Amino acid sequence: MSEMRQADATMTNPVVPGFHPDPSICRVGDDYYLVCSSFEYFPGIPVFHSRDLVHWTQIGNALDRPAQLRLPAAMPSSGGIYAPTLRHHDGRFWLIVTNVAEGEGNLLFTATDPAGPWSDPVRLPEVKGIDPDLAWDEDGTCWCTVAGGAQVRIDPYTGETFGPAHQVWAGTPGAQAPEAPHLYRIGAYWYLLIAEGGTERGHAVSIARGRTPTGPFEPCPDNPVLTHRGTHRPIQNTGHADLVQGPDGSWWLVLLGVRPRGGTPGWHVLGRETFLAPVTWVDDWPVVGEVPSVLPTPAWPLVPGAAEEVRDDFDLSELRPQWISVRDRPAEHCTTKERSGWLTLRARGASLDEPDVVFAGRRQQHLSCRVRTRIDPAEGRGGLAVRLDEEHHYEIEAAEGQVRVLSRVGPFRTVVASRPVPAGPVVLRLDVTPAPPNGPRTGPDVLTFGIEEQDGTFIPLGALDGRYLSTEVAGGFTGRVIGLYAAAGTVHFDWFDYEPLGL
């Protein structure tokens, strides 16, 4: 993640770039662990590790088995896994989350190692509401608080609840969407941190405190303690935060935000990303500093991870944890074991319009990037795609003897360009670059699809406006995922390059 930047370079926010929303964090000794929402993608809930709060490495996905994660084809995009909370208690990691797919609800998982394996779910049928939080008081009682401020005592081992849920604090009167509650004991008080205002431009963080975990709670007189609404700051939609102490005892927030680009109204295309902000305490209330694009040098040593490689040669028996698929990933449809050093995809849905399309991708994490893959389409049809949902995607598709660029925007599906190519493998390429200025109507970026000849010459076939693969156009809660798909028969991919061209 941020380890893709050189250790001695300027440290920039977001610390976990790309579609990594709703961060929740916990500290165990000198180690930090962080999880994010994953919605309709499988495996679910990416898990990250850091030693310095700045450099994060993905160590796995918590929900990597069908028994843990049910995402049926009938579930719409931006359904699925919402807003996990990660905590460490009594020598164990606890992960509680909502799966909004029909028949699922709130689920609780445990692990002794956050890299996995994680347990099968403990179901919480009596806990109603999304964004569940876990907190333990001094006598070991476990409290679960959900969006809207309802709280109930639970047995986290069995999922049993004790007594009816009671209302503790629903945020600022009149503010929409009080959600993402996190309850903490800090000093003499229990603090209840929430998001409110909706996850769009009005997003904000507010807090209240009380003497017991069940309240009564007194709102902070300076609420919201963080918001960027109504500003020109490059980071917007700031909210859905979690508190943590740094290695030197200082306090920090991890939170989600977006980086809109272009003219009016501004389009964000990478989804909601994870940012870091400093916190100080005044009169036992947190004061949140600015969410900067450039982070100040911390007072503790930096511990960067290994640089992420540009190329994935598909030389492992399983896909690396950054790879995600739409709703499921059956081994008979997606494998690196059929042809050594290749990823093999066997089609199921006939296009990316279908909810059961066979797709394997990774989150777009940079505002500018270059993506390349070598595909052998001799046994089928497939290619390289940029996906937001079933109704918003662009792709370059190869079948024996032809390559074509396709666009799906809302109800319209268009063949943008086509070109004959020689039989055999072909290199497909995508360049994502800033949009040329066009006043207030300037889009966020341009996606140029084409092929590469053997000498590396790029032959562009179609340049598409990036605003149509943005949340402001498509709606929903996710961001762009760039990857590989099969639409007919069987296709093989020799390698996949993701090369950042900017932040």
Domains of the chain: 10-296 (2.115.10.20), 311-500 (2.60.120.200)
Spatial separation of the C-alpha atoms in residues 344 and 277, rounded to whole Å: 42
The yes-or-no answer on residue 179 being catalytic is yes
- Contact between 361 and 382 under an 8 Å Cβ cutoff? The reply is no
Per-residue pLDDT of the chain (503 residues; tens, 9 = 90+): 443 333 444 688 999 999 999 999 999 999 999 999 999 999 999 999 999 999 999 999 999 999 999 999 999 999 999 999 999 999 999 999 999 999 999 999 999 999 999 999 999 999 999 999 999 999 999 999 999 999 999 999 999 999 999 999 999 999 999 999 999 999 999 999 999 999 999 999 999 999 999 999 999 999 999 999 999 999 999 999 999 999 999 999 999 999 999 999 999 999 999 999 999 999 999 999 989 999 888 999 999 988 889 999 999 999 999 999 999 999 999 999 999 999 999 999 999 999 999 999 999 999 999 999 999 999 999 999 999 999 999 999 999 899 999 999 999 999 999 999 999 999 999 999 999 999 999 999 999 999 999 999 999 999 999 999 999 999 999 999 999 999 999 999 999 999 999 77
Strand 358-363, strand 412-420: pairing: unpaired
The continuous run of DSSP H or E covering 474 comes out as: helix 471-474
CB neighbours of residue 180 within 10 Å: 29
Q: Which of 179, 389, 395, 445 is catalytic?
A: 179
Strand 285-288, strand 311-312: pairing: unpaired
Q: Which pTM does this prediction carry?
A: 0.96
Spatial separation of the C-alpha atoms in residues 9 and 459, rounded to whole Å: 34
Q: Closest by alpha carbon to 142, among 130, 127, 125?
A: 127
Q: Closest by alpha carbon to 228, among 194, 199, 185, 191?
A: 199
Residue 406 CB-density burial (10 A; 0-12 exposed, 13-18 middle, 19+ buried) = buried
Distance of CA 363 to the CA centre of its chain: 8
Spatial separation of the C-alpha atoms in residues 406 and 254, rounded to whole Å: 38
